[in-house]
Amino acid sequence: MYDEPLLFEIGSPGRRAVSLPSDDLPPEVELPALEPALVRADLEGLPELSELEVVRHFTRLSQWNFSIASNFYPLGSCTMKYNPIVNEWAARLPGHQAIHPMWPDVLTQGALALMWELEQMLAEVSGMDAVTLTPAAGAQGEFVGIKMVRAYHEQNGNPRKTVLIPASAHGTNPASSVLCGYRCVEVPVGRDGCMHIADVEARLDEDVAAVMVTNPNTLGLFERDIRAIADAVHAKGGLVYIDGANMNALCGVTRPGDVGADVLHINLHKTFSTPHGGGGPGAGPVCVKKSLAPFLPVPRVVQTENGFKLSEDAPLTIGRVRTFHGNFGMLVRAYTYMLGLGGDGITRMTERAVLNANYLRKKLEPLLTLAQTAPCMHECVFTDQGLAETGVKTMDVAKRLLDFGFHAPTIYFPLVVPGAMMIEPTESESRETLDQFVVAIERIVAEAKRDPELLKTAPHATRVRRLDETRAARKPVLRWRPGAVTASEATTAAASTELAPVAVAATATAAVAVTSADPVMVEATPGEDRAPSADPSTETERPVSPETAPEGAAATADATVASSEAPASPEAEAPASTASEPVEPSAGGEP
| Count of other CB atoms within 10 angstroms of residue 243 | 30
pLDDT at 273: 94
Q: How confident is the model at residue 463 (pLDDT cuts 50, 70, 90)?
A: confident
Asked whether residue 539 carries a pLDDT value surpassing 90, the answer given is no
Per-residue pLDDT, 525: 31
pLDDT at 454: 97
Asked whether residue 224 carries a pLDDT value surpassing 80, the answer given is yes
Would you say residue 381 has pLDDT above 80? Answer: yes
Q: What is the rounded average pLDDT for all residues in the chain?
A: 83
Burial of 44 (0-12, 13-18, 19+ CB in 10 A): exposed
Whether 505 shows a pLDDT value over 60: the answer reads no
Question: Amino acid letter at 182?
Answer: Y
71: which DSSP letter? S
Determine the Cα–Cα distance for residues 454 and 448; give it in Å rounded to an integer. 8
Q: 532 pLDDT exceeds 70?
A: no
- Flag whether pLDDT at 230 surpasses 60: yes
484-502 residues labelled b (16+ CB within 10 A) or e (exposed) = eeebbeebbebbbebbbbb
For 357, the 3-state DSSP assignment is helix
What pLDDT, on the 0 to 100 scale, is given for residue 253? Answer: 97
Cα gap 331→283, rounded to integer Å: 7
Express each pLDDT in 12-64 by its tens digit.
888 988 888 888 888 888 878 888 888 887 777 788 999 999 999 999 988 88
pLDDT at 30: 82
Domain with CATH 3.90.1150.10 in the chain: 358-456
Is the pLDDT at 575 greater than 90? The verdict is no
* DSSP one-letter code for 270: H
Percentage of residues in the chain with pLDDT exceeding 90? 66
Neighbours of 348 (CB within 10 A): 16
Fold of 87-340: Aspartate Aminotransferase; domain 2 (3.40.640)
Report domain 358-456's class: alpha beta
Average pLDDT value for residue range 366-388:
97
Q: What is the DSSP string of 479-543?
A: ---TT---HHHHHHHHB-SS---EE---STT------SS-PPP---EE----PPPSSGGGS---B
What pLDDT shows up at residue 478?
A: 83
pLDDT of residue 504 exceeding 50, the answer is no
| CATH 3.40.640.10 intervals, the chain | 87-340
Q: Using one digit for the tens of pLDDT, what is the confidence trace for 387-408?
A: 999 999 999 999 999 999 999 9
